[in-house]
């Protein structure tokens, strides 16, 4: 888990106490993932239990210091060397929402897509503004502070992530338009429960099945409100 390894990485620079670790973690990642002191001490407790850190006296102000152990260093090396697992994807609320919006009664999937796109692009605008500030700071001062560089990398990750989402949303929209344009005319069967649609549509993969129902994909697009509907003639 990343907090564990994040703390080990910080402790590799020398012994530290809990709230110091919290400050350094946040400063490195621009507080993108805020930690509370409780989490830090709980994690330190587990690391100590696993022999990866050890208590190391107190500083002048009486803070209990923790130091990384040899086993901790080995664990840290392994973490850096091993790729982050992407084979069991984390649950993604947006993907689940769109999957559920396909053919959902009373839901205009294109509206769902557009309202998400607005939100996502706005987040990108905000991240980009922070990035422009971070770049100006780095270039203006010539500073090569470890924390400033780390923060820039984290920000750019947020930008690339939102960009991927915005592109995927664009893709979903054009995919749905293409599928509804080539779909067979909707029939009564289109509104029947999925179980009655025939064996071809009961597979586990939602993608291809969405098109075969005809009404499934088209359900939202025909009822787009306002100016959205009129332009669909092309």
Partner 1 sequence: MSTPLAAQPVLRLQNLTRVHGSGATEVHALRGIDLDVHPGELVAVMGPSGSGKSTLLTIAGGLDTPTSGQVVVEGTDITTAGVKELAALRRRSVGYVFQDYNLIPALTAAENVSLPRELDGMSARKARVEALAALEEMGLGHLADRFPDEMSGGQQQRVAIARALVGDRRLVLADEPTGALDSETGESVLALLRARCDAGAAGVLVTHEPRFAAWADRVVFLRDGAIVDQTVRSEADSLLTGRVAEA
Count Cα atoms within 13 angstroms, Cβ side, for 128: 10
Q: Which is nearer to partner 1, 50 or 126 (CB)?
A: 126
State yes or no: residue 121 binds partner 1 (CB under 8 A): yes
Angle at 71 between CA 23 and CA 45, to 5 degrees: 45
- Indicate whether 69 belongs to the interface with partner 1 (CB under 8 A): no
Q: What is the largest CA-CA distance in the chain?
A: 79
Residue 49 or residue 234: which is nearer to partner 1 going by CB? 234
Q: How far is the CB of 5 from partner 1 (least distance, A)?
A: 22
Considering only 71, 135, 149, 150, the residue that binds partner 1 (CB under 8 A) is 135
| φ, ψ for residue 197, nearest 5 deg | -80, 0
Site for partner 1 in 174-213 (CB under 8 A): 174
In the complex, least distance from residue 103 CB atom to partner 1, rounded to whole angstroms: 22
Residue whose CB is less far from partner 1, 69 or 120? 120
How far, in Å, CA of 101 to CA of 107, rounded?
A: 6
CA nearest neighbour of 66 among 110, 24, 108: 24
Single residue of 13, 77, 122, 146 touching partner 1 by CB under 8 A: 122
**Where do we find the tokens 């530290």?**
16
Kindly state the smallest distance separating residue 30's Cβ from partner 1, in Å.
5
Residue 159 as a binder of partner 1 (CB under 8 A): the answer is yes
Regarding 25 and contact with partner 1 (CB under 8 A), the answer is no
Report, in this order, helix, strand and coil percent for the chain, each rounded to 5: 65, 5, 30
Report the candidate in 216, 225, 217, 166 with the shortest Cα–Cα distance to residue 192: 216
Q: Using the rule CB under 8 A, give the single segment among 10-18, 30-38, 49-57, 209-217 that binds partner 1.
A: 30-38
């Amino acid at each position: 888990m990343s907090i564990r390894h994040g703390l080990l990485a910080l402790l590799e620079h020398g012994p530290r106490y809990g709230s110091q670790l919290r400050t350094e973690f946040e400063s490195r990642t621009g507080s993108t993932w805020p930690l509370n002191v409780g989490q830090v001490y709980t994690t330190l407790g587990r690391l100590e239990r696993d022999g990866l850190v050890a208590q190391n006296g107190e500083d002048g102000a009486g803070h209990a210091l923790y130091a990384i152990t040899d086993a901790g260093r080995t664990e840290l090396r392994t973490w850096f060397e091993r790729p982050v697992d992407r084979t069991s994807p984390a649950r993604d609320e947006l993907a689940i929402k769109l999957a559920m919006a396909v053919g959902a009664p009373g839901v205009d999937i294109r509206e769902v897509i557009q309202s998400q796109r607005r939100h996502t692009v706005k987040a990108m605008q905000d991240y980009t503004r922070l990035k422009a500030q971070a770049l100006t700071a780095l270039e203006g001062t010539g500073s090569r502070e470890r924390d400033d560089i780390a923060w820039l990398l984290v920000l750019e990750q947020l930008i690339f992530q939102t960009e991927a989402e915005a592109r995927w949303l664009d893709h979903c929209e054009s995919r749905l338009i293409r599928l509804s344009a080539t779909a067979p005319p909707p029939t009564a069967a289109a509104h029947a429960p999925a179980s009655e649609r025939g064996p071809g549509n009961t597979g586990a993969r939602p993608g291809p099945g969405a098109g075969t129902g005809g009404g499934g994909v088209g359900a939202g697009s025909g009822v787009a409100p306002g100016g959205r509907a009129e332009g669909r003639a092309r």
